[in-house]
């Protein structure tokens, strides 16, 4: 009975498309699309603001003064805090729940924008724009990503891809920003941006906690429904995951989900229904959870994540420069970039859809894309004319889009949704290190070798190194299972 309930819940996002399933299931499916929509908006806003910072750069320099290096610090703080702040945000998220965190994030970004209009010096801007916006972005992104993972269980890859396609729309924001600056000056533009960001508050309200669906499903839960509603989201989430993992074990016999977690929880349930939430509270992780750092699966994932991010950022920076050194005009070079951007968007959607068909484990696709991307990068130095470079750009965009869309689904597959916050937080932290170190490293490579060829070879090498860790995944899962059985032994006996 409960398992069927779990399965029905799985099909909600798909049923929502039909829109014909009765009452609550349609609502639940509708909320899933709402979450995807919110994540889409977050991507648009976050990426848009990060990319248009360059336009503000000039205005800041003229009015507020300060050297070019000082002003660029603001941008670096902003984009690096987005990643580096993730572990802290993960803690907040688990404490307060996603919805409040997201609203806080939107508030931080909006407040930072408004505060920046009063800026008179570069250090002021560093804090008001850099710090506040960076932390706000981290909050928004983490809450939205985890909520998407929690809501869209079957169609996670596709939903993730749809949300990520928001990044493709950011090319519209740059001319819009320029227009605003011409009309209102940079202060007025920041004011209006603050308002636009506040729009994320109602869309954050779409991140309804998953728990409220659960009580209707099982009769066992009815008795503590009252108490469940009152308790915090994290605990009820653990409760709701019982059913979904049950359903998942049925549906996804192919994938070895965190079966250890599933087994532990099902045993806990057999003990007693109502007392489950209290024990769960004790069992759930301490506030700043360092356990991901000791988990081999996490190491596998982070290794791959780090190198794939390095492989992603570097060619993007140097593609145009390389085109220029080969004698291609800047019009054609920017054409390259736009084609690559559109291809990436389309490829993300395709890859997400394909991954959701569950023909094989998601990380197999991930590995495949990375390997192909790495080979493409290694072959790039052979591209010396515009058509060849265009082919390279398209191929690279296809593979990049492919693996980028699968990052979140692969992480969810590896660690499950329950612990997603801490894992995602730390993974983002390490990705942030790559993001911060990547561009200077690429620049250094160019200065050292005086040619862009090296950067592409480096990116190709990174892309080939990163999937190596996935070969250890099956053995890591077995190790985890053994460890969990060892831990369980004493409690059962």
Partner 1 sequence: EKNITLDSAARIELSCRLDNKYSHLKSLQVTWKRGNETIRHINKTENSWSIQLRILDNSKMGSYSCTLKGEEEISAMFHLQVPKIEGKEKPIVSYEGDTAVMICKSLGYTPIAWTWYMTNGSEQIAINDSLLADKYVINRISANVTHLKILKLTTEDDGVYWCEAAFELGKSKGKLKLKVLSLMVPLKPFLAIVAEVVILVGIVFLYEMYSKKKEKCAEDEKEFDQVEQL
Binding site for partner 1 (CB under 8 A): 23-24, 27, 62-63, 181-185, 187-189, 191-192, 194-196, 198-199, 201-203, 205-206, 208, 212, 215-216, 219, 222, 225
What's the closest the beta carbon of residue 228 comes to partner 1, in angstroms?
Answer: 12
Our CB check for partner 1 shows the closer of 16 and 427 to be 16
By the 8 A CB rule, do 14 and 357 touch?
no
Which tokens sit at 23? 């009452």
Indicate the DSSP class of residue 384: -
What's the closest the beta carbon of residue 120 comes to partner 1, in angstroms?
Answer: 10
What's the closest the beta carbon of residue 39 comes to partner 1, in angstroms?
Answer: 16
Cα 246 to the chain's mean position, in Å?
Answer: 26
Compute CA distances 250 → 4, 244, 255, whole Å.
10, 10, 10
Q: Exposed e or buried b for every residue in 198-231, given b needs 16+ CB within 10 A?
A: bebeebbebbbbbbbbbbebbeebeebeeebeeb
H or E element in which residue 289 lies: none
What's the closest the beta carbon of residue 192 comes to partner 1, in angstroms?
Answer: 6
Our CB check for partner 1 shows the closer of 192 and 375 to be 192
**How many C-beta neighbours within 10 Å does residue 45 have?**
24
**How many C-beta neighbours within 10 Å does residue 242 have?**
22
What's the closest the beta carbon of residue 216 comes to partner 1, in angstroms?
Answer: 6
Our CB check for partner 1 shows the closer of 219 and 384 to be 219
What's the closest the beta carbon of residue 420 comes to partner 1, in angstroms?
Answer: 24
Our CB check for partner 1 shows the closer of 203 and 455 to be 203
Our CB check for partner 1 shows the closer of 222 and 329 to be 222
Our CB check for partner 1 shows the closer of 30 and 296 to be 30
What's the closest the beta carbon of residue 329 comes to partner 1, in angstroms?
Answer: 24
**How many C-beta neighbours within 10 Å does residue 437 have?**
15
What's the closest the beta carbon of residue 151 comes to partner 1, in angstroms?
Answer: 16
Given its phi and psi angles, is residue 79 left (phi above 0), alpha (psi -120 to 50 degrees) or beta? Answer: alpha
Our CB check for partner 1 shows the closer of 41 and 241 to be 41
What's the closest the beta carbon of residue 281 comes to partner 1, in angstroms?
Answer: 24
Which tokens sit at 275? 């007392």
Residue with tokens 């710090």: 131
Our CB check for partner 1 shows the closer of 85 and 107 to be 107
Our CB check for partner 1 shows the closer of 41 and 92 to be 41
Residue 339 phi, psi (nearest 5): -60, -45
By the 8 A CB rule, do 35 and 151 touch?
yes
278's CB contacts (< 8 A; 6+ apart) are none
Q: Render 206-243 in DSSP notation, one character per residue.
A: T---GGGGGGGT-HHHHTTHHHHHHS-HHHHHHHHHHH
> Is 472 exposed, middle or buried (CB count within 10 Å of its CB: 0-12, 13-18, 19+)?
middle
């Amino acid at each position: 009975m409960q398992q069927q309930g779990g399965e029905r819940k799985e099909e909600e996002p798909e049923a929502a498309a039909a829109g014909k399933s009765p009452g609550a299931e349609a609502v639940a499916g509708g909320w899933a699309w709402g979450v995807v929509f919110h994540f889409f908006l977050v991507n648009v806003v976050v990426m848009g603001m990060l990319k248009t910072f360059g336009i503000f750069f000039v205005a800041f320099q003229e009015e507020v003064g300060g050297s070019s290096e000082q002003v660029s610090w603001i941008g670096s703080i902003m984009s690096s805090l987005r990643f580096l702040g993730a572990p802290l945000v993960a803690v907040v998220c688990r404490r307060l729940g996603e919805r409040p965190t997201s609203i806080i994030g939107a508030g931080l970004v909006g407040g930072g924008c408004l505060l920046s209009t009063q800026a008179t010096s570069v250090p002021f801007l560093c804090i008001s724009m850099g710090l506040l916006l960076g932390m706000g972005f981290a909050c928004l992104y983490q809450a939205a990503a985890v909520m998407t993972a929690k809501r869209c269980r079957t169609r996670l890859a596709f939903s993730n891809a749809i949300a990520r396609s928001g990044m493709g729309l950011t090319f519209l924001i740059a001319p819009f920003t320029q227009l605003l600056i011409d009309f209102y000056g940079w202060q007025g533009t920041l004011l209006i941006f603050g308002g636009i960001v506040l729009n994320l508050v109602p869309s954050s309200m779409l991140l309804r906690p998953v728990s409220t669906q659960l009580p209707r499903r099982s009769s066992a839960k009815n008795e503590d429904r009252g108490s469940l509603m009152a308790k915090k989201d994290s605990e009820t989430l653990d409760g709701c995951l019982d059913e979904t993992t049950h359903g998942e074990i049925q549906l996804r016999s192919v994938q070895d989900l965190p079966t250890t977690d599933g087994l532990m929880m099902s045993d806990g349930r057999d003990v007693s229904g109502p007392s489950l939430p209290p024990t769960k509270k004790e069992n759930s992780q301490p506030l700043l959870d360092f356990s991901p750092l000791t988990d081999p699966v996490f190491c596998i994932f982070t290794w791959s994540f780090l190198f794939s991010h390095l492989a992603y950022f570097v060619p993007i920076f140097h593609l145009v420069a390389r085109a220029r050194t080969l004698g291609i005009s800047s019009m054609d070079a920017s054409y390259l970039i736009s084609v690559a951007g559109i291809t990436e968007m389309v490829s993300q959607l395709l890859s997400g859809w394909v991954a959701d068909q569950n023909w094989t484990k998601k990380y197999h696709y991930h590995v495949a894309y990375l390997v192909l991307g790495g080979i493409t990068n290694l072959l790039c130095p052979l591209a010396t004319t515009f058509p060849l470079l265009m082919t390279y750009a398209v191929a690279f965009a296809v593979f990049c889009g492919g693996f980028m869309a699968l990052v979140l689904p692969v992480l969810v597959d590896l660690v499950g949704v329950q612990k997603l916050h801490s894992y995602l937080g730390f993974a983002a932290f390490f990705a942030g290190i790559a993001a911060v170190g990547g561009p200077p490293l690429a620049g250094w490579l160019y200065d050292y070798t005086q040619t862009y060829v090296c950067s592409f070879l480096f990116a190709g090498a990174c892309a080939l190194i990163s999937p190596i860790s996935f070969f250890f995944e099956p053995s890591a899962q077995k190790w985890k299972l053994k460890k969990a059985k060892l831990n369980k032994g004493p409690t059962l006996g």
